[in-house]
Structure 1
Amino acid sequence: MKNPALLPVLVLASVAACAGGRPAADTIVTNARVYTGNPARPRAEAVAVKDGRILFVGPAKEALRHKGAATAVVDAGGRLVLPGFMDSHVHFVSGSLNLARIDLAGTKTVEEIQARIRAHVAANPGTGWVQGRGWMYPAFPGNMPHKALLDAVVPDRPAFMRCADGHSSWVNSKALALAGVDRATGDPPNGRIVRDEKGEPTGALLEEASSLVAKFIPEPTPEETLAALRVGLEEAARRGVVRVHGLGGEFEALDLFARLRDEGALTVRMTVAMWVDEPGPDEADWKAYDEARAEYNGEWLAVDGVKLMLDGVIDSGTGAMLDPYEGQKENKGKLFWAPEDYMKAVAAFNARGIQVSTHSIGDAAIRLSLDAYEAGQRADAGRDVRNKIEHAEDIAASDIPRFGRLGVIGSFQPFHANPEPGWIGSWIAHAGPEREQRAFAWRAVLDGGGRLAFGSDWPVVTIDPWPALQVAVTRRDLDGRPEGGWLPQHKVTLAEAVHAYTLGGAYAMHREKDEGSLEAGKLADLIILSQDIFAVDPLRISKTEVVLTMVGGRIVRDAR
């Protein structure tokens, strides 16, 4: 007769190991077409997972040898399995809050914009602020909105509609009056109140001028923000995003992310940068960063690096350019930092081994960033800081090779290059024909030895990576226009684009040893797709749905 006292030990042993002494997996994903992202073994049939990490990647028969009594087997149904995607530029708090506001994304006419606002107001009566986001300049006469168009649908409540790019706002007369903004109000240092021929504000506010009104909008409570973050996490999991680089708003909400982490509700890994404004870090900034870095440094939530904002956007003529905007002889945009302050700040951060991510869109801002990063290399004492340039939408030809030479990461958002006229029209008009030729030059940066990390800048565009992936490989809008692609010399291959969303993102966040590809020992972050993006017409990539998302071996979305 067996000793009853030994039965629990025998059961545990059968669960923990399989025949031949192999460790038993917690989960095995099999009957799959696995694209590993690992050049040494690019394809596989199955993935075995244990304790949140990948135990085995390879043939299904061998993977099933890790099946124990308690192993869950996920039948992928012959579908494509990829490493989970990383979004290398998000604003997760504002993106999550925006999900409950008026969505103006994709609108092409004033009438369409007004219809969406009107429907929201009818469904949400009251006296409070009406907020939305997503309009783009070409929808309006003269490429700029006017308060009269908003007054027509919201006459009795303050209304605040952010442009998709986040750099301009459109407000109604009620909002201007509440904020006390009138013809006597001066422009802030890094912003402009658009005015009519009589000097009256038109309701369009550029860059920091938006804050003149935005500061009167009540801040959401912590509980409201937490509720929004839960919805945002669901959205990210639905789209197959497993890690994000938070570059504005997340640092101030670290306590809320920590609360979600401690509840086991944080289903997206977070790398968080601290935002620093001109003239650069003071003692309070250093203290805040050091304390946050010491407290938040785990696999799920980590503070790593800083974010600097160097210029505006080309669409509204606020991006810093080397030469005047097309048809605007006096306008080269503006740097938001004094160059000497910016250079000093980058050197100070790099000297402490801190990564700098700089918003630089115009060619003048990009050049200054490259100059500062080159100087920063002399200060970093060989530390592997991996500085990033965010957006880099119009790089001067002579500066393109510097990305590779200096080891600077090009952090691009492919869907920002969507060539749909309602989205890109103002950009092209302001840049002019010569500068247009180097728009969103992903291919040139890559060919010059540079590294790419792809993302969204959510809520500028959707966090959904699949439309962006389609644009990256076709340079055509979602309707397939223009034939042959807009500046097709800048498109990348599908394998290169997937790399920029996986290992490229992991490298940019100093996570490539643990994440970004499906290899034994790495964290078990993977997705199962509805279609094989390597086999379908590239113009159908945007139709991809995520069937299953796994993060750390835990299934956080299952739509099978």
Structure 2
Amino acid sequence: MLKLLCNADIYTMDRSNPIVENVLVENGKIVALNVDNKIEYQKVDLEGKTLIPGLCDSHLHTVMYGSELDKIDLSAAKSIADLIELGKNHIEDKDLKKDDWIFGWGWNQENFEEDSLPTAKDLDEISKNYPIVLKRECRHVLTANTAALKAAGLYKKNIANKRVYKDEKGNPNGVLCEDAQKLILDAAPKTTVEDIKNYIIDASKKYLEYGLTFVQSDDLADSSISFHKTLQAYFELADSGKLPLRYNLQLRLTNEKDLKEFIANYKTGNYNDYLTLGPLKIWADGSLGARTAALRESYNNLDSAYGELLCSREKMENLVKIACENKMQVACHAIGDRTIEQFVEIVESMQEEYTDNLRHRIIHSQLADYQLLKRMKATGINTDIQPAFTASDWEIVENRIGKDREQQSYLWKDMIDLGINTAGSSDSPIEKPDPIWGISCLVSRKDELLKPEFGWLPNQKVTVQDALEIYTKNGAYNAFVEDKFGQIKPGYKADFSILSQNPFYVKEDKLREIEVCNTIIDGNLSK
């Protein structure tokens, strides 16, 4: 059946043909634009709304997001007392079993009256019986109560790991950061394949509500399950036709053994129309909020506090080399300038030996200054940014790195102007998987309270056109599917997002109010 999508403002993201009157769709593909209406066409009247290519989130964590939908949301906590109250309320509301663990997420000590990290002693006030694990909003830090420490064999144990914080007696105080979190999480009940499938489905439903038709998801490094089982969950959903939208998996294989095992057993690229196995994902440093992003100069007002490289130069070189030998793209988590520079140097050093354009990517790139951006462009490195971080981070950046370095951070417009392919993402569940909010942050650089008044580093604001491309065609390019997705052109997949208002006609501060009315995937409305 030929479907004619019409009566809408239609923006194609194809700069040679930016606006069209209608779109003709058949068998899940776009077959023509600007056609005359015929009686045999099934007319889909969009009632004056705005139609754009399906929105893409180029980096998030689906399994984590899906698993947290029924966990304690601590983002509203303004003190440790609030955190304790939210935990107690959760226990009262839930019918917990004897062996259950309690998980929560979203606290941020920057919002607390006391501006200090919660400890096991604090969480013991919630419960001393149930193991409790509460993650900071960045997910790079967690706090566990005494019951969880005991379950993990860490209680009153002498732990040399510096990422396990200690009390005045030298014992673990419940706070663990970066990969040390695994010491606690490995003791928790194991996640099953069925659990993962349910998390993916639950998350997918939310993604569609936010207007997403294509996401690129980092899920393979869950500490409680092997990457084989995570892949099994995705394969089973894809094989049964139960993936509600399109997935590209970012393959966080944390060591050479796992990477070689993956290469021996799987093949990157297209699995089917709804699932693709994508780049090797390297997690190379921490977060700015937790002061664990690796910097070239010390954190502001601290001596010799440079953050942490979570992937040494030697390890990173070996992983990138193996990936290049197998024509595998690499996507590197890098927030701090020291980490970004290390990845750029490694890619630069391998350019002559490996000449394939693998479109390597840096995920985050928050503290890449202009000189680093120029090197990224020269080396062909693309990036996946999180525009919502401008809203949530702008008040802490100067505190973390000082005024001078602040001016050379979150340089979204410079990336675009230099010609770096820049894709938009949420890093969900770190931020909500809402591309409209991301587009608003790109254009206004203001937070939810419309602060600062003229936007943070306003010279880095981007146009509405660029913002839409960042969340459509640019994400497709980073995933090597720019010939199928991200634009409205004949031969492309019939994936679209339908918006309540035209973003080109909405004032900057009103972009956030645009609603997603529906999505279309393979020519079919999602609801």
* TM-score range relative to shorter protein: over 0.9
Residue equivalent to 1:219: 190
Residue equivalent to 2:91: 121
Identify which of 101, 111, 117 aligns with 1:144: 117
Residue equivalent to 2:175: 204
Identify which of 27, 33, 50 aligns with 2:26: 50
Larger Rg: 1
Shift of 1:76: 0.8
- What is the distance in 2 between the residues matched to 1:426 and 1:181? 32
Question: Are 1:257 and 2:229 matched, yes or no?
Answer: no
Task: Write out aligned runs for 1:22-171 (5 A).
Answer: 25=2, 27-58=3-34, 62-65=35-38, 67-68=39-40, 71-126=41-96, 127=98, 128-140=100-112, 141-171=114-144
Question: Are 1:527 and 2:527 matched, yes or no?
Answer: no
Shift of 1:130: 0.7
Shift of 1:441: 1.1
Q: Amino acid of the residue matched to residue 283 of structure 2?
A: M
For residue 204 of structure 2, give the secondary structure of its aligned residue in structure 1.
helix
User: Per-residue displacement from partner, 1:249-286 (whole Å, max 9, x unpaired)?
Assistant: 385422222222233221211111322324xx24x533
Alignment check: 8 A CA contact 1:305 1:357 kept: yes
Shift of 1:205: 1.2
For residue 523 of structure 1, give the secondary structure of its aligned residue in structure 2.
coil
- What is the distance in 2 between the residues matched to 1:470 and 1:457? 16
Question: Are 1:234 and 2:210 matched, yes or no?
Answer: no
Residue equivalent to 1:393: 366
Residue equivalent to 1:6: none
Identical aligned pairs, as a percentage? 26
Identify which of 201, 214, 219 aligns with 1:243: 214
For residue 340 of structure 1, give the secondary structure of its aligned residue in structure 2.
helix
Task: Write out aligned runs for 1:437-516 (5 A).
Answer: 437-516=407-486
User: Per-residue displacement from partner, 1:18-76 (whole Å, max 9, x unpaired)?
Assistant: xxxxxx61x22111110111111111222111011011222xxx2523x52xx432211
Alignment check: 8 A CA contact 1:89 1:245 kept: yes
- Structure 1 residues 542, 484: closer, same or farther in 2, change over 3 A? same
Residue equivalent to 2:384: 411
- Structure 1 residues 322, 357: closer, same or farther in 2, change over 3 A? same
Shift of 1:199: 2.5
- What is the distance in 2 between the residues matched to 1:441 and 1:262? 41
For residue 549 of structure 1, give the secondary structure of its aligned residue in structure 2.
strand
Residue equivalent to 1:19: none
- What is the distance in 1 between the residues matched to 2:36 and 2:360? 39
- What is the distance in 2 between the residues matched to 1:73 and 1:185? 70
Shift of 1:463: 1.0
Shift of 1:184: 3.4
Residue equivalent to 1:18: none
Alignment check: 8 A CA contact 2:131 2:147 kept: yes
TM-score for both structures, normalised by structure 2: 0.93
Alignment check: 8 A CA contact 1:314 1:431 kept: no
- Shifted more, 339-348 versus 522-531: the winner is 339-348
- Structure 1 residues 204, 344: closer, same or farther in 2, change over 3 A? same
- What is the distance in 1 between the residues matched to 2:199 and 2:180? 27
- Structure 1 residues 187, 315: closer, same or farther in 2, change over 3 A? farther
For residue 186 of structure 1, give the secondary structure of its aligned residue in structure 2.
coil
**Structure 1 alignment gaps of length 5 or more:** 1-23
Shift of 1:111: 4.4
Q: Aligned-pair RMSD on alpha carbons?
A: 2.1
Question: Are 1:311 and 2:281 matched, yes or no?
Answer: no
- Structure 1 residues 150, 447: closer, same or farther in 2, change over 3 A? same
For residue 89 of structure 1, give the secondary structure of its aligned residue in structure 2.
strand
- What is the distance in 2 between the residues matched to 1:197 and 1:396? 39
- Shifted more, 541-550 versus 425-434: the winner is 425-434
Question: Are 1:540 and 2:513 matched, yes or no?
Answer: no
- What is the distance in 2 between the residues matched to 1:106 and 1:78? 38
Residue equivalent to 2:224: none
How many aligned positions are there? 518
Shift of 1:156: 2.6
Shift of 1:163: 1.4
- What is the distance in 1 between the residues matched to 2:4 and 2:79? 50
Shift of 1:107: 4.1
- What is the distance in 1 between the residues matched to 2:71 and 2:394? 24
Question: Are 1:356 and 2:330 matched, yes or no?
Answer: yes
